[in-house]
Amino acid sequence: MNAFFVSSVAALVAASAASAGFTGFSADRVVLSNGNIQYKVFANFDNVGLPAGQSWVFLNAYSHTTVSGTMNAVHQDFFTADGEVGTWQAGSSVSAADRDFDSWVTASGLATSSGWGTALDPGFNNGGTVLDINNGAGWYDATPGTANTVTAGRMLIMQIVRTAANDSVYTANLSITYKVSNTSVPIQLGAFQYTIPAPGAVALAGLAGLTGRRRR
Ligand SMILES: [Ca+2]
Ligand SMILES: [Ca+2]
């Protein structure tokens, strides 16, 4: 069903020739209390092409495709608790205590059980129980009745947690669709690459390592 949704969106995009709004991805890097590395990946937006008084509304992410490296995501959710390899779902699949330590995707900017509102598309083979997001996978707003409004110029779309030993450079392509609030068209398309750690973050991580060494 969603494959149809995506292809319909692609056709609309080709017709509407998106002008602006989505400017690319960025990733915030945090060292967790257990030593793992957490990346929050955001889709960033400017106001170009946005009518006064309206907001951008995120619709879906699709065609996640590895360019280089390995994601090696760590999962700490109810699936790993059962001895399975984990899930990219959040919401009720992850306890509040584990949410920061787990890897997941979101279309709502949230991973909470009440605000997740996200569905994995069929590109997530085996329910997304993989350590790297499948090539071609995507996720979408499963609760279109509640708009997934972009606030403060960005929308959280995924959290990737890795061990420090696996924190090597990883790059992927990802496409998204979004629209103007209170309208159904035009649906707009954006496709960009993201890298973790971001080039700047690599430098910062190096500095942090030096500081740590000095403290010892
Ligand atoms: Ca997970
Ligand atoms: Ca929604």
User: What ligand is nearest to the CA atom of residue 141?
Assistant: 2
User: CA-to-CA distance for 100 and 98, rounded, in angstroms?
Assistant: 6
DSSP 125: G
Residues, Cβ < 5 Å to ion ligand 2: 117, 141, 143, 146, 148
User: CA-to-CA distance for 71 and 37, rounded, in angstroms?
Assistant: 12
Indicate whether 215 pLDDT > 80. no
Please tell me the distance between residue 17's alpha carbon and the centre of ligand 1 in angstroms.
35
Q: What is the DSSP string of 60-106?
A: EEEEEEEEES-------SHHHHTTS---S--GGGS-TTTGGGS-EE-
205 confidence band (pLDDT: 50, 70, 90): low
Indicate whether 18 pLDDT > 60. no
Please tell me the distance between residue 179's alpha carbon and the centre of ligand 1 in angstroms.
28
Please tell me the distance between residue 87's alpha carbon and the centre of ligand 1 in angstroms.
4
pLDDT tens string 89-117: 999 999 999 999 999 999 999 999 999 99
Overall pTM surpassing 0.85 (yes/no): no
DSSP 179: E
Indicate whether 159 pLDDT > 60. yes
Give the angle 165-28-169 at the CA atoms, nearest 5°: 40
Quick one: pLDDT at residue 141? 96
Quick one: pLDDT at residue 210? 47
User: What ligand is nearest to the CA atom of residue 118?
Assistant: 2
In three-state secondary structure terms, 53 is coil
Highest mean pLDDT among 72-86, 117-131, 162-176, 190-204: 162-176
In the block, which residue shows the tokens 């495709």? 65
Of the chain, the percentage scoring pLDDT greater than 70 comes to 81
Average pLDDT over residues 60-84: 92
User: What ligand is nearest to the CA atom of residue 59?
Assistant: 2
Indicate whether 121 pLDDT > 90. yes
What residue numbers bound the domain in which 30 lies?
2-215
User: What ligand is nearest to the CA atom of residue 119?
Assistant: 2
> Count of domains in the chain?
1
Indicate whether 128 pLDDT > 90. no
184 confidence band (pLDDT: 50, 70, 90): confident
Please tell me the distance between residue 46's alpha carbon and the centre of ligand 1 in angstroms.
30
pLDDT tens string 24-42: 999 999 999 999 999 999 9
